[in-house]
Chain A
Amino acid sequence: MKIRAIVAGAILLFIAVAALAPGVLAPTDPLAIHPLESFRPPSFEHLFGTDESGRDILTRVIHGAGASLLIGLSATAIGVSIAVVLGLLAGLGPRWLDFGTTRFLEVLFAFPGLLFALLFIVIYGPGIVTSTIAVGLATAPGYARIIRSTVLQVRRAPYLEAATVLGRGRAYRIVHHLLPNVAGSLFVLVTLGIGQSIVWASSLSYLGLGAVPPAPEWGAMLSAGRTYITSFWWMTFFPGAFIVLTAVATTLLGRSIQDRTRS
């Protein structure tokens, strides 16, 4: 349990350093081309090998952390913000508003998340910004539904009634008791959601709808490497491994926070 959290934390710390200061871990230029060294397998010189233009894949993976993480975080932030508004409206508003919001969310749920993101990109065009917004929008209904049910649950909690008896007004109860308690479980949700957003954003890049090669973004690198997947596996393996690592690490961290808050 504890070891899991420590390992996850260490992986995330490494990825965070890579995102914030990639130069520290990989001093060379991720875009520099060395045509003579193309398609080198992993070796001591190039730990993760090189790609079709002789660029060092380790360097590119490290420099890609920033873009991937930024997309994941921003998408989650967008999704959660929309969800907080919808969830609070539904959870705290009058019954008709709850009814309306819930039905709206159910309609959104009818689309598979990624399909919904694709729809958005079809309308607004590909690119990093649109794909981030698209992922954010696609994850919002899920968050909103959980926030709504948490709000409903906390709203009926005996401690809110106790606060009423003590003479606290509605606004006080919401600001001082309800929101902080909803935020607690939201924090866990967000940690769990970042990994998912990164995977989705990478999927969009892989489809060529997000970051575009030669930008060192993990999804885009996967996409570039797929042509050579049968002969030069390392071009897709390492970016893919990092997507998986990040997603697993954030999920593990989220789970252990969840376990701690529960006990």
Chain B
Amino acid sequence: MISVSDLTVRFARAAPVVDGISFDVAPGECFAIVGQSGSGKSVTARSLLGLSGGTVSGSVFLDSVDLVNASARQWRSIRGKEIGFVSQGALVALDPLRTVGREVGDALRLHTSLSAVEQSARIQSLLSSVGIPDPSLRASQRADELSGGLRQRAIIASAIALQPRFLIADEPTTALDSTVAAGILDLLESLRASGTGILLISHDLATVSRLASRVAVMQGGRIVESGTVDDVLRMPRHPYTRQLIAAVPAGTPRHAPLAPPPRVGNSGPGAAAPPAQPSPAVSARPGPSFPTMPPATRPGVGNEGPGAANPVAEPAVEHPGAPGPEFSTTVLAATGLVRRFGPRLAVDDVGFQLERGRTLGIVGESGSGKTTVARLVLALDKPDAGTVELFGRPWAGRDRREARIGAIYQDALSSFDPRLTVGQILSDAQTDGRSRRADVSELLELVGLDPSIAARRPRILSGGQQQRVSIARAIAPSPAILVCDEPVSSLDVIAQAQVLDLLDKLQRELGMSYLFISHDLGVIRHMSDDVLVMRDGRVLESGPTEDVFGAPQHDYTRALIAAAPTLD
């Protein structure tokens, strides 16, 4: 039993990062801590291993051992042996120069007197117990020869090498594709069933609900609510918990807001802030009908869209491409796209059409070719065969200004010139590169940011703010099409909800069409009118979102749906 009471962690003289929290984890139980980035959950996890790096007060007991005052020598016999640690960086937590077998065997070498032969047998049985196929081959490979999922399994193997009674898993599935993540969660579940106590740290309630029996919601270093997962999800008492639940896109209908409007910078007259009515967050979630939506608050810019909830009322969407060319609302059409990298077909005969004011989602796991499709559409890369047409005309990257196609990226920060301030970045986009001093306050208000942010540099902003800046930059030249390549994948649930709401609002106000790429089925389902399921460079299935996901034709689509975390 790990019992934590009144745990406080502070760094230097700053306010405590973890502020008087108490909980316990019993053997055979999974206890989860959920919260946004910066809520103190990772520091909590690390302080249970004596690795927080700050000043710890309060009490942490492993059975009767006092962990707060444990000596370095005591820690050596606890870490790995009693409490194992599964870190979040599946991509960086393994030493690239050492074989996986060596990495996993570290604990055995340090803590047991097994002979080399016994060790290698044990390593192989560990690797196969975490579901790594062909363990003898894998043990001799290095980290970069393994996929993300296999690496995460190897990390778990090393964490359980000494059969610790407790496991601390800090965002164990965050960087992984959903089918892979589901496998990791199943693995953790089987460890729990065999008696291991698990402390699961995550920003994602849906992931937590799959594994944990009890959950604590952390905000600003405090536990604001805790209880059984069922109680907390069904009857959340704290507003922040409600916000977290509402922010999960899976199961939330298209156009329904996921988050209350952000508090910064929405006071300007042109800000077109979401309505002042109280957040419909909780009540909106489970209902099958669309919640009441505000009418579009500004006259749309050339937008013939209905503005409100029901885009299906638009003509021609039932039969894309059916009307004659002069009435066509197809803004982007791709036919027979093929892209080869060496012998590998990254994109293999992909075609689709994007209608004005609509969103086409592309869902697929890493390596499915979806980002290559985005690059082909943006003419950043040339297809080996096939064509891309914008507004009925072939497009290969010339006359980008007339093309009216923009993009936002997964890593917003690295898409900004590191020397420039937010104001300079946006001014450059707004004036077509002529000035870096134009007034960008209107643009900032449009994306819900305070105009004072213009003087700052992007790297000191939060991930959500960075993505807002990148959206502001993308819409500055008033594009008709926006390619969104995993725009929310590196954001926590709340920031993700806000960015998705913003994208939805801008689409209705400005009449943009989105090509929306994500590995996250919940996000795709919430954002898209039509959807394309990709795997290994091919389109497996396509059609209106609810048709495809409501009655999936392909096994892989079914697997994706089964793997996607939901709250239900």
Contacts and interface: CB of A to CB of B under 8 A. Distances in A.
Interface of A: 157-159, 161-168, 172, 176-177, 180-181, 184
B419 interface: yes
B419 A167 contact: no
Contacts of B407: 162, 165
B477 A166 contact: yes
B414 A165 contact: no
Nearest to B419: A180
Interface string B267-305: 000000000000000000000000000000000000000
Nearest to B416: A159
B417 A165 contact: no
A180 B424 CA distance: 14
Contacts of A164: 380, 400
A161 B380 contact: yes
A157 B178 CA distance: 28
Given A161-B380, A166-B477, A167-B432, A181 B419 contact: yes
A162 B380 contact: no
Contacts of B429: 166
B63 to A, nearest CB: 42
Contacts of B432: 167
Given A164-B380, A165-B380, 17 more contacts: A157-B414, A161-B380, A161-B415, A162-B473, A163-B417, A164-B400, A165-B378, A165-B400, A165-B405, A166-B433, A166-B473, A167-B401, A167-B432, A167-B477, A180-B419, A181-B417, A181-B418
A159 B400 contact: no
11 contacts: A159-B414, A159-B417, A161-B380, A162-B415, A163-B417, A165-B380, A165-B406, A166-B429, A176-B433, A181-B417, A184-B419
Contacts of A181: 417-419
Contacts of A180: 417, 419
Interface string B394-414: 000000110101110101001
A157 B409 CA distance: 13
Contacts of A176: 433
Nearest to A165: B407
A167 B431 CA distance: 12
Interface size class of B (residues with CB under 8 A): 20 to 34
A159 B415 contact: yes
Contacts of B419: 180-181, 184
A153 to B, nearest CB: 12
Contact of B409 (A162, A166, A168, A172): A162
Question: Considering residues B411, B428, B432, B473, which has the most beta carbons from chain A within 10 angstroms of its beta carbon?
Answer: B428
Nearest to B418: A181
Contacts, number: 48
Contacts of A184: 419
Contacts of B409: 158, 162
Among B378, B417, B429, which residue has the most Cβ atoms of chain A within 10 A?
Answer: B417
A184 B418 CA distance: 11
Contacts of B405: 165
A161 B410 CA distance: 13
A162 B405 CA distance: 12
B433 A172 contact: yes
Contacts of B415: 158-159, 161-162
Given A165-B406, A166-B473, A158 B418 contact: no
Interface string B12-29: 000000000000000000
Contact of B406 (A161, A166, A177): A166
A177 B428 CA distance: 12
Given A159-B415, A159-B416, A168 B380 contact: no
Nearest to B397: A164
Contacts of B477: 166-167
A148 B442 CA distance: 40
Interface string B415-455: 11111000000001100110000000000000000000000
Contacts of A166: 400, 406, 428-429, 433, 473, 477
Interface centre among A157, A165, A166, A167 (most CB of B within 10 A): A165
A167 B474 CA distance: 11
A87 B477 CA distance: 34
Contact of B400 (A162, A167, A177): A167
A176 B434 CA distance: 11
Interface in B451-479: 473, 477
Interface string B136-172: 0000000000000000000000000000000000000
Contacts of B411: 158
A26 B415 CA distance: 54
A158 B473 contact: no
Contacts of A165: 378, 380, 400, 405-407
A181 B419 CA distance: 7
B466 to A, nearest CB: 12
Nearest to A168: B433
Contacts of B400: 164-167
A163 B378 CA distance: 12
Given A165-B406, A166-B406, A166-B473, A177 B417 contact: yes
B288 to A, nearest CB: 39
| Max chain A Cβ within 10 angstroms of own Cβ: one of B378, B380, B409, B433 | B433
A168 to B, nearest CB: 6
A113 to B, nearest CB: 31
A171 to B, nearest CB: 11
Nearest to A163: B417
Contacts of A157: 414
Interface string B238-264: 000000000000000000000000000
A158 B413 CA distance: 9
A180 B428 CA distance: 15
A162 B429 CA distance: 10
A159 B457 CA distance: 14
A79 B121 CA distance: 58
A184 B432 CA distance: 25
Interface in B344-383: 378, 380
A31 B273 CA distance: 78
Nearest to A159: B417
B417 to A, nearest CB: 5
Residue of A164, A166, A181 ringed by the most chain B CB atoms within 10 A: A166
B274 to A, nearest CB: 28
List the 8 closest pairs (A to B, CB-CB), nearest first: A167-B400, A162-B415, A158-B414, A167-B401, A158-B415, A159-B417, A165-B407, A177-B417
Contacts of B416: 159, 162
A168 B477 CA distance: 12
